[in-house]
């Protein structure tokens, strides 16, 4: 198992971005760094890759971003990083998956059941039924700052466990400081 310093908060932020419309996230398995790539950079890099190799990635022709017409200079480093991520993804980079709604739902359910304020716990459980349950759950917590803070702490701990399991499945042991 590879020991690596991991920033759980950064991975949690990445995992909580379940839409992935604007960005995607990768873990550098050598440094523990989180690589954030915008959708625009990803599209440019994938276009470059599709034009730069035949059927086999081994035939990839090394392309320098500054040689590609139409890429602004300020994007060159990001495109180069994206190319590196996509070419090395199997060996070095691991895409950070979106957090499963079922995991978040389970955490919400458990949290509601453990609340000292039983009335609020029952309201939260009821909110978890039907359409828009996540939004209803969070909206119910707005007038309860203490419980809202408890939820964020509880959710972060649940997410940390999920992340630790994900890391272990990829042979990574989080290094404690």
> Domain count of the chain?
2
Give the residue from 59, 75, 95 where a domain finishes.
95
Domain that holds residue 171: 101-175
Note the pLDDT of residue 177.
53
Note the pLDDT of residue 96.
96
Token code pair at residue 165: 């399991």
Whether 23 is in a domain gets the answer yes
Whether 28 is in a domain gets the answer yes
Element (H, E) at 169: helix 145-169
Residue with tokens 């007038």: 143
- Whether residues 122 and 84 fall in one domain: no
Instruction: Tell me how far the alpha carbon of residue 145 is from its chain's centroid.
Output: 27
Note the pLDDT of residue 66.
45
Length of the chain: 177
- Whether residues 29 and 50 fall in one domain: yes
- Whether residues 142 and 81 fall in one domain: no
Whether 12 is in a domain gets the answer no
Check: CB of residue 168 under 8 Å from CB of residue 1. Answer: yes
Give the dihedral sign, CA 140/145/150/154.
positive
Token code pair at residue 79: 């495109």
Whether 139 is in a domain gets the answer yes
- Whether residues 89 and 111 fall in one domain: no
Note the pLDDT of residue 5.
93
Whether 74 is in a domain gets the answer yes
- Per-residue pLDDT of the chain (177 residues), as tens digits, is 789 999 999 999 999 999 999 999 999 999 999 999 999 999 888 888 777 665 555 544 455 544 555 677 778 889 888 988 988 777 899 999 999 999 999 999 999 999 999 999 999 999 999 899 999 999 999 999 999 999 999 999 999 999 999 999 999 999 865
Whether 7 is in a domain gets the answer no
Degrees to nearest 5, angle at CA 103 with 161 and 168: 35
Instruction: Tell me how far the alpha carbon of residue 57 is from its chain's centroid.
Output: 26
- Whether residues 142 and 77 fall in one domain: no
- Whether residues 79 and 110 fall in one domain: no
Distance of alpha carbon 92 from alpha carbon 62, whole angstroms: 18
**CA atoms within a 13 Å half-sphere pointing along the CA-CB vector of 34:** 16
Note the pLDDT of residue 86.
86
CB under 8 A, 24+ apart: contacts of 51-56 = none
């Amino acid at each position: 198992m590879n020991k690596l310093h991991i920033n759980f908060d950064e991975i949690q932020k990445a995992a909580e971005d379940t839409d992935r419309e604007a960005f995607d996230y990768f873990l550098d398995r050598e440094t523990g760094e989180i690589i954030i790539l915008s959708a625009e950079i990803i599209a440019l890099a994938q276009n470059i890759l599709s034009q730069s190799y035949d059927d086999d990635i081994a035939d990839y022709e090394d392309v320098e971003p500054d040689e590609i017409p139409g890429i602004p200079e300020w994007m060159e480093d990001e495109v180069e990083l994206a190319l590196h991520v996509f070419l090395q993804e199997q060996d070095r980079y691991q895409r950070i998956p979106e957090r499963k709604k079922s995991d978040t739902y389970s955490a919400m359910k458990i949290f509601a059941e453990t609340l000292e304020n039983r009335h609020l716990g029952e309201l939260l459980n009821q909110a978890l039924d039907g359409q828009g349950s996540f939004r209803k759950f969070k909206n119910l917590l707005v007038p309860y700052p203490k419980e809202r803070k408890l939820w964020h702490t509880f959710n972060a701990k649940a997410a940390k466990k999920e992340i630790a399991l994900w890391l272990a499945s990829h042979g990574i042991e989080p290094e404690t400081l």
